């Protein structure tokens, strides 16, 4: 059975393995080792799920649930109300099944035409710094990386002492196991930097998301820390940041305008994305098996907000106000 466990001292989240009679058994796979090609999703570790099988599963569920695009649309209106800003509604959501920690995701089939544009010197400098950050793996033997992990714990649970870098305590923050370093594979140190930036810059929002303090929560909640890594990975893909010398997609090009105004634009966008994802989660009444669907809806909404004509600073994004709810 999957349960939400909130100790009195930490009020944090833990997940118990599902029993076969109560929930589908999803085999744990290495985190974010997912590759997509011509209709098939294959994962390191010998697990494979075809898109056709997934879509067939979705068709079988249509009799039990309202259409997913409708749920995404209604959730976007909820986000608009929360942020007190007009929001363009996302009209489609791709993907149905996911397991947090072995992310089943589906790349958007809509591809932006390759675009060309000229970077300003400041854009070029800041983009290079951001791309350099993407190349840094998390190394559990590095002292500075260890200190960052400890700082994250202290920000999350300031009144609880961490007993070690490898401890079951980490599960209270939503890591998969006692050693968080295993969850950084595929995304690197920047995922930890994003979490730490959120904790230090928007502490109220950080704790609200960590402790699931708002709304009617699902019985099967998403693990906070692993969800954060998924969001970092999603943003890197959405903005095409690994493409050199510059992104070739419209969201990436528009993001560089924000980066020129604020060198912390990526980290702030991460915080916005996390708050938006949680709002989507609540509005869609999702549980952890639908996390990928929620993440895709979040990506759709972010792409649309980044395409608005009057967005010149990261603070101009309609969802920015979610950080202060």
- Name the one residue in this structure whose structure tokens are 């929002």: 205
Q: What pLDDT, on a 0 to 100 scale, did the predictor assign at position 287?
A: 86
pLDDT recorded at residue 79: 53
Strand 47-50 versus strand 40-43 pairing type: antiparallel
Residue in the block written with tokens 């089939």: 109
Q: How confident is the model at residue 19 (pLDDT cuts 50, 70, 90)?
A: very low
Residue 123 lies in a domain: yes
User: pLDDT over 70 for what percent of the chain?
Assistant: 65
Residue 41 has pLDDT above 90, yes or no: no
Give the closest residue to 225 by CA, choosing from 272, 181, 163: 181
| Per-residue model confidence (pLDDT) at position 302 | 98
Choice between 48 and 68, residue whose per-residue pLDDT is larger: 68
pLDDT in tens, 166-195: 999 999 999 999 999 999 887 999 999 999
What the block records as the tokens of 120 is 């300003």
More confident residue, 280 or 111: 280
* Mean predicted lDDT score pLDDT of the chain: 76
Q: Is the separation of the CB atoms in 6 and 12 below 8 Å?
A: yes
Residue 222 in this model has a pLDDT that exceeds 70: yes
In a domain, 19, yes or no: no
| pLDDT at res. 82 | 54
Residue 154 structure tokens: 């202290």
pLDDT of residue 129: 98
**143-182: b or e for each residue (b if 16 or more CB lie within 10 Å)?**
eebeebbeebbebbbeeeeeeebeeebbbbbbbbeeebbb
Tokens 């390191």 locate to 44
40-43 vs 34-37, strand pairing mode = antiparallel
Within 39-196, strands assigned E span 40-43, 47-50
Q: Residue 11: pLDDT above 50? A: no
pLDDT for residue 85 is more than 80: no
**What residues contact residue 183 under an 8 Å CB cut-off, 6+ apart?**
31, 101, 175, 176, 177, 225, 226, 229
Range of the domain at 194: 34-324
Query: 229-268: per-residue pLDDT in tens?
Result: 999 999 999 999 999 899 999 999 999 999 999 999 999 9
DSSP 17-41: PPPTTTS-------TT-EEEETTEE
DSSP states of 112-138: PPP------HHHHHHHHHHHHHHT---
Q: Is residue 53 included in any domain, yes or no?
A: yes
Within a domain: 282 = yes
pLDDT at 115: 81
Q: Does 28 fall in a domain? A: no
Q: Report pLDDT for 215.
A: 86
The upper half-sphere exposure of residue 80, i.e. CA atoms within 13 Å in the direction of its Cβ, equals 14
Q: How many domains does the chain have?
A: 1
Q: Which of 246, 249, 122, 231 is nearest to 187 (CA)?
A: 231
pLDDT for position 81: 52
Q: What is the DSSP letter of 218?
A: -
Let me know the angle formed at the C-alpha of 171 by 224 and 165, rounded to the nearest 5 degrees: 115
pTM: 0.70
**Cβ pair 21, 14 in contact under 8 A:** no
Query: 66 lies in a domain?
Result: yes
Tell me phi and psi for residue 36, to 5 degrees.
Answer: -125, 135
Q: Flag whether pLDDT at 34 surpasses 90.
A: no
Residue 9 belongs to some domain of the structure: no
């Amino acid at each position: 059975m999957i349960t939400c466990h909130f100790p009195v001292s930490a009020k944090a989240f833990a997940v118990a393995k599902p029993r076969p009679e109560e929930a589908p058994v999803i085999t744990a796979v290495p985190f974010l080792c997912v590759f997509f090609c011509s209709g098939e999703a294959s994962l390191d570790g010998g697990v494979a799920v075809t898109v056709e099988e997934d879509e067939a599963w979705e068709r079988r569920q249509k009799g039990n649930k309202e259409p997913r695009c409708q749920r995404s649309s209604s959730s976007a209106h909820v986000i608009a109300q929360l942020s007190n800003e007009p929001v363009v509604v996302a009209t489609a959501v791709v993907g149905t099944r996911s397991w947090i920690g072995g992310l089943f995701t589906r790349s958007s089939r809509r591809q932006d035409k390759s675009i060309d544009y000229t970077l300003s010197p400041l854009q070029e400098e800041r983009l290079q710094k951001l791309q350099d950050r993407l190349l840094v793996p998390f190394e559990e033997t590095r002292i500075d990386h260890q200190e960052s992990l400890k700082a994250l714990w202290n920000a999350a649970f300031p009144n609880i002492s961490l007993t070690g870098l490898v401890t079951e305590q980490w599960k209270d923050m939503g890591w998969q196991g006692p050693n968080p370093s295993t969850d950084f594979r595929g995304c690197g140190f920047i995922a930890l930097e994003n979490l730490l930036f959120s904790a230090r810059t928007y502490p109220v929002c950080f704790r609200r998301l960590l402790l699931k303090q708002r709304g009617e929560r699902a019985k099967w909640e998403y693990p906070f820390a692993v969800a954060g890594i998924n969001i970092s990975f999603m943003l890197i893909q959405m903005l095409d940041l690994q493409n050199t010398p510059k992104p070739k997609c419209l969201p990436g090009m528009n993001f560089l305008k924000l980066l020129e105004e604020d060198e912390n634009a990526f980290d702030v966008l991460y915080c916005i994305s996390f708050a938006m994802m949680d709002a989507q989660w609540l509005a869609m009444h999702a549980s952890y098996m639908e996390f990928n669907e929620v993440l895709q809806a979040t990506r759709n909404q972010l792409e649309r907000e980044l395409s608005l004509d009057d967005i010149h600073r990261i603070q101009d994004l309609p969802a920015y106000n979610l950080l202060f709810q």
